[in-house]
Amino acid sequence: MGNTPSSAIPSPTRTSFDEKDPNRDSFVEVSDSLSALHITTPLSSDGSLTLSQVASWEASASNNSKVRLARTVFSQTDIRSVLTSRAARIADQHVFNLALDFKTGPVTNQKSSGRCWLFATTNVIRFGVMKRLKLKEFQLSQSYLFFWDKLNKANYYLELMIEHADLPIDDRLITHLSGDLISDGGQWDMVVNLIETYGLVPQSIYPESTHSSLSAPLNALLKTKLREHALILRTLADTLRSAHVREETVIATLRAKKEELIREVYNIMTATLGVPPPPNKRFVWDYIDADDKVGRWEGSPKDFVEQLVNKPYAPSDCFSLINDPRNEYSKLYTVDKLGNIWGGRPILYVNTEIDVMKAMVVKMIKAGQPVFFGCDVGKFSDRDAGIMDTALFEYENAFDIRLGLSKADRLQICESAMTHAMVITGVHLDNTGKPVRYRVENSWGETAGKEGFFVMTDAWFDEFVYQVVVPKALAPRDLVAVYEAGDKIVLPAWDPMGALA
């Protein structure tokens, strides 16, 4: 396929046509389009890169003083640091005229793990808990959610392997599912599944371990075992069906074998993360409030949610708005085969315009509610300065290029996706009430940004924010109706909207 020589592109030729021909208009459009194209003959007829091409490029570049300066500077310096815009740094002040009326702490740190979605969720939820109990510092246990998520993702993967045991091992779906099969990442509906099933506990009840903060070694081991488990189940399925065993018996036998196999996963996880509190077992939590008074709470993880979390807005009563310009707005979307708890709440998104999402952020901050959002944090951002701004790096001027991809283009060509979840806690509005920049609470510790907080410009929001989570009580009625109707469009398993923050 790749060795066939390319043929020369023929020049457009004049062709006569009947004035009454019904296809006349389309012919004229095609002819005009071809005339507008700059059609040339390639220097390399077979598509290979030739030394003569390189020589011509070098001759042009060596005579360009801007290119010569760039070669002097950029070969010795990180291009991001040398091309950081001074104007952007000055403009992106950590000043906000609309912010939440209560400060939480401490700044959280997910360390060497991909648990940002769990940190963002617990950072949103702890706001109400701390305000209610008058706490100065408090964290919910991210590790508790992490444990149950990882165990359920293992089960979810093996269930999919049972469901699709008849597909070839190299089928695209099997290959995709067996890739990053138990990612640390997740989505809002996944964390709602966890909270509804297992509840929540303070971090002091189920604290961090080495492998919750450093997840790569644990993930590597679990992936190895789960892929082995998948092959065992596929082989067993083939054996049973070849023996003409009834299908219901096949499924029951495979699930029994899966339960035997997944016990190994449980043993690995409890050894590395610790045994979590059972969701219905009572525990005692002693705490000290902002007035240095000792408090006491007693109940189960599920009681904790019911008594301290579900008001004014329960996590289960919130849903995701997304901005995906590839797809139709005011429609409900899901991603095939995406989830963590088998049979649990599906991952659902209502697609809407970016200005609707911005308006929701402002409305929620005014209502005193922090905002969970998903974005592509690695684009045009400075971790140390805590700045996310499309004008931050002057690449176009330095290299004499234009970065012309639209938001839809980036999604289509795998240039961008939701890679990180954080929390918006403030907005700076201009004199017309429109957002200029946003205050972002991250989970990378106090040394990132300004004491753990970032500033995100409105232009960056346009290009790299994909999701905000909103309570139904505050969301536009028409979008709530789209969500509640449940008439969802299913995107393929490998769609970028299936990326896990």
pLDDT band at 17 (very low <50, low <70, confident <90, very high): very low
Domain assignment present for 27: no
> Looking at residue 40, what is its pLDDT?
82
Q: What is the residue-wise DSSP string for 455-497?
A: EEEHHHHHHHEEEEEEETTTS-HHHHHHHHH--EEEEPTTSGG
> Looking at residue 5, what is its pLDDT?
36
- How many Cα atoms sit within 13 Å of 241 on the Cβ side? 12
* Residue type at 263 in one-letter notation: R
Answer whether residue 323 shows pLDDT above 90. Answer: yes
pLDDT band at 43 (very low <50, low <70, confident <90, very high): confident
Q: How far apart are CA 449 and CA 383, in angstroms?
A: 6
The full length of the chain comes to 501
Digit-coded pLDDT (tens) for 412-442: 999 999 999 999 999 999 999 999 999 999 9
Domain assignment present for 77: no
Note if 116 is an active site residue: yes
- Angle, nearest 10°, between helix axes 116-133 and 301-308? 60
Closest C-alpha among 446, 429, 449, 324 to residue 376: 324
Note if 420 is an active site residue: yes
* Average of per-residue pLDDT across 229-239: 98
> Looking at residue 11, what is its pLDDT?
39
Domain assignment present for 20: no
Answer whether residue 6 shows pLDDT above 60. Answer: no
Answer whether residue 335 shows pLDDT above 50. Answer: yes
**What is the pairing mode between strands 283-288 and 453-457?**
unpaired
Digit-coded pLDDT (tens) for 454-490: 999 999 999 999 999 999 999 999 999 999 999 999 9
Q: Which domain holds residue 386?
A: 98-132+142-491
Domain assignment present for 128: yes
> Looking at residue 38, what is its pLDDT?
74
Answer whether residue 97 shows pLDDT above 80. Answer: yes
- How many Cα atoms sit within 13 Å of 141 on the Cβ side? 30
Digit-coded pLDDT (tens) for 145-193: 999 999 999 999 999 999 999 999 999 999 999 999 999 999 999 999 9
Domain assignment present for 7: no
Main-chain phi, psi angles of 422, to 5 degrees: -145, -170
Catalytic one of 116, 152, 229, 340: 116
The percentage of the chain sitting over the pLDDT mark of 70, rounded to a whole number, equals: 93
> Looking at residue 91, what is its pLDDT?
95
> Looking at residue 10, what is its pLDDT?
39
pLDDT band at 275 (very low <50, low <70, confident <90, very high): very high
pLDDT band at 27 (very low <50, low <70, confident <90, very high): low
* Average of per-residue pLDDT across 14-41: 59
CATH number of the domain encompassing residue 408? 3.90.70.10
Q: What is the residue-wise DSSP string for 32-64?
A: HHHHHS-----S-TTS---HHHHHHHHHHHHT-
Digit-coded pLDDT (tens) for 342-398: 999 999 999 999 999 999 999 999 999 999 999 999 999 999 999 999 999 999 999
> Looking at residue 3, what is its pLDDT?
43
Domain assignment present for 243: yes
435 upstream amide cis, omega within 30 of 0: no
pLDDT band at 77 (very low <50, low <70, confident <90, very high): very high
Answer whether residue 399 shows pLDDT above 60. Answer: yes
Q: Are 218 and 147 in contact (CB under 8 A)?
A: no
Catalytic one of 211, 229, 420, 428: 420
- How many Cα atoms sit within 13 Å of 189 on the Cβ side? 22
What one-character DSSP code corresponds to residue 316?
G
Digit-coded pLDDT (tens) for 79-88: 999 999 999 9
Answer whether residue 32 shows pLDDT above 80. Answer: no
* Average of per-residue pLDDT across 229-257: 98
> Looking at residue 432, what is its pLDDT?
96
Residue 454 contacts by C-beta under 8 Å, 6 or more apart in sequence?
A: 381, 386, 387, 388, 422, 439, 440, 442, 448
Catalytic one of 109, 193, 219, 442: 442
pLDDT band at 25 (very low <50, low <70, confident <90, very high): low
Q: Token pair for residue 205?
A: 């009840």
The percentage of the chain sitting over the pLDDT mark of 90, rounded to a whole number, equals: 90
Q: Cα 460–496–452 angle (5° rounding)?
A: 40
Domain assignment present for 439: yes
Q: How far apart are CA 276 and CA 200, in angstroms?
A: 11
Q: How far apart are CA 127 and CA 103, in angstroms?
A: 8
For 145, the 3-state DSSP assignment is helix
CA distances from 261 to 74, 160, 271, 487 (A): 53, 15, 16, 36
Answer whether residue 300 shows pLDDT above 70. Answer: yes
Residue 400, exposed/middle/buried by CB under 10 A (0-12, 13-18, 19+)? exposed
Quick count: other Cβ atoms within 10 Å of Cβ 405?
14
Domain assignment present for 421: yes
List helix spans (H) across 164-246. Answer: 172-177, 188-198, 210-213, 216-242
Number of domains in the chain: 1
Answer whether residue 26 shows pLDDT above 80. Answer: no
Q: What is the residue-wise DSSP string for 427-443?
A: EEE-TTS-EEEEEEE-S
> Looking at residue 31, what is its pLDDT?
60
Q: Are 216 and 112 in contact (CB under 8 A)?
A: yes
pLDDT band at 12 (very low <50, low <70, confident <90, very high): very low
> Looking at residue 45, what is its pLDDT?
87
